[in-house]
Structure 1
Amino acid sequence: MFKKVTQNVAKQMDPKGELVPVESIVDQDHFRIHCLVRRKRKTAFRPFPSYKRTEYKLHDVLLPGKDGKSDESLLGRDQQDSRQYATAGSACDRVDGAVSVATEPTLVELGGSASFSKKWSIKMEERHLPVQQLDVLTTERKVNTNHPFIQQLRKDEQNLYVVHETIEASEEVSYEESTKATGKFVAQLYAKFFAKGTSMRKQSITIPKGCILAFRVIQVTIKDAEWGIHHISENNTSTFVSDGITQGQFGVLKKEVKQNCQAFSQLPVELRGTFLEAIKVALRDKDVFQELAQKMEEVYYKTNTCELTTQSPKLKDMLSSLQSLSRNDLHSLAEAVYYTLDALSEQTEEQRLVLLESLEKKAVRHQRNLVERFFKCKTEDTEWRSGGGDILLPFSADGEDKTTIAMLEMSGVRIPKNEFAICDEEGFLALEALYASLYSLDLLSNSE
């Protein structure tokens, strides 16, 4: 729920995507001004960059200066500019909408399939540290190249960024929603996979005053003990080494998915089953999902802290099988699992339940082929385009399994009662992450 609020705030205040929503209220304190963050690896299905917390702020990795100035005087809040904003809104069943956020409250309609949210409002404050202040700091402080964090970043060739702008709640705000989603069908899935189910689920969250909702970063460059700020965001300069760039066309996505998941196709059938069962458990349990993602990330980046042990009996078989592999095979499989979980993290809890149902019904291959056909219509067949940016898709709900219909609707495909479905550009962005998820699950569930 917190992610829904922050995504809406970030999207409406900066549609270009440079303002990054905070994904977890637990992590929000690690995205304040001067916090150091790492960028999640680029994927074709994630159009805008996202970042991971670190445990450090900028002053933690700088050497003391000779001028006697304290860190507080160089990095203090008194050098930060601030502006006030407010936004308010409501949502109702099957409503999509947009908002232009300004200094006066405006209405916001939160879209969603068959969901209802009560009215809400947020008063926000934008805090901004002028980049010029960071430029001055580069001349007065050097980087501690012996700091373990800096050494690990250099070894793993990871980029480093510093938060220099934030949007924070200036008052406590409560947000609540009642979700019917696809109604009885989703309730049945909750009952099936969790031994619980209701026709309606109510969720609420209280966002405290001062909570960081979104942030903006600028890249840090390091050469020996000297450091600087990379001002031109379009140029893909790395902190330590050169970095590639990924474009968002479906052909690039398909190539990326195939490359990242290739290790699955080389697994023996019994090991595919072991990996699939672990991922199915992760789809049911958010804590297991996060634990598995963290371990695979550590293996992928070859960090020294990686331990393939767990207290979760549901992951032991998979992690045990990984321990017996060669270093290269371990890295390849960790990359495939990490990429799969990255794609699955773009899905909502309800979408993950539908994916579980699709696996049980052996419908994943059909759904993957269906999404591929949708993208083919988008890229090749101009006659399928309609007015307003919508694209007509050759799909009829008649005779189609309700699991597939629910999956498509949750990803933004509109399915009227005729022989065509409709999807816009935003829907196709959601379908990209869905395609990556379906491709991976199809490889693991394929016994051929």
Structure 2
Amino acid sequence: MAGPGFAVLDFETTGLFPGGHDRVVEVAVVHVNDSGRVTGRWETLVNPQRDLGAQHIHGIRSADILDAPTFAAIAPHLVDLLGGRVLVAHNASFDLRFLLAELARSGYPQASALDIEHLCTMQLARDFIPGAGRSLADCCAAFDIDLENAHRASVDASATARLLGEYIAASEGSELWNDSLDRALDAVWPVLSKQTVLDEVWRAREATAASSNTSTFLQRIADKLPEFGGPAEHQNYWALLDQCLLDRQLSVHEANALVRLADELSISRSTCERLHIEYFEAVVNVAWADGVLTLDEIADLTAVATLLGLPAVYVAAAVEPPAKSVGRHAAPVDANGSVGSQGSASPRVAGAFRLEVGDLVVLTGDMRRSREDWHRELEQRGFEPRPAITKKVKLVVASDPDSLSGKARKARDYGITIVNEAGLERLLKGPG
């Protein structure tokens, strides 16, 4: 007699080696009944508590997984979704290895001894579509199954579920499926305690990404009345803002740091908005310093305005030559490109970030350029690339500034500036 059906599983991971330090970053499960019809879908991002590896493949940002559950948190619900069913995956040995490794880390050391009934749609392709390729894309193409946005767990799992349905429909007999379904009913899965229901802990990619939107950080700053912050506090806020925008990206950690600092300095949201405008005007002055505004500089001004939450009218005014611009309240910039403000009450920002010859620099994560290339250039410019974080390190360069790698976490503990590759390129290029 046929069992309850199949559970199609797909993982997105930080790499290929579950026995080492690679971890699951996204999981999707699709239930399919014994006739090949989809009966349910679930997906969630997973916080791997380390860097995300090849982000250009799975497209997941560190900001997306900061509030996502750990694998240990989803494990009880995942086991419920898989239990009593035949596990199906494309290249099932890969997903099985990660599943067993993650279960072992989640408090089930006997996971390696589990005998999980499973089928592999990649292996089954030899029987159902002989001569076709073995990749998921090749197999789906043979049946005209859509695989747009591949390397997203829900997309790959749904495509694999449809592929399974085509195999079932094309099979001449049902012994393969029924025998496997019956064996799955006898499999013993671990019993893991659940503290929450599935809908409360699983976080799909869009939901988590939306919750980590940094563009609304100004709304989280208190509107203090009366306000106690003065010129010195304004400079401190400017200095952190300048540091956060070095790479023209505002990470979740940086947005949180700006909110905390505004609260600690007792400066209000309206004051922060004014400081943002003056900071933007300082960037505009730098861009116009040579009397020419290039397309790259316009793109840069647009990026800064967007990060600061400024409306498009500020960019429109900024691209006009200074003599024609109306209502520009420019903040002066010193010879090093440091942001300042008008009047003696608010002198230029002290301690604007820059690299000096001899500074120690650490790189972490997968870069566009090879680590060797970056180290060579840094050394040629007089800086010292280092493999590990110490309090003497001046800068950490991460493929993703919100990275949860050990290096990035330690850098935040020490208050070390973190930028992405674009930020490093800007620092090496110099002000202006």
When the two structures are superposed, what TM-score results if normalisation uses the length of structure 2? 0.28
More strand per residue: 1 or 2? 1
When the two structures are superposed, what TM-score results if normalisation uses the length of structure 1? 0.27
Larger Rg: 2
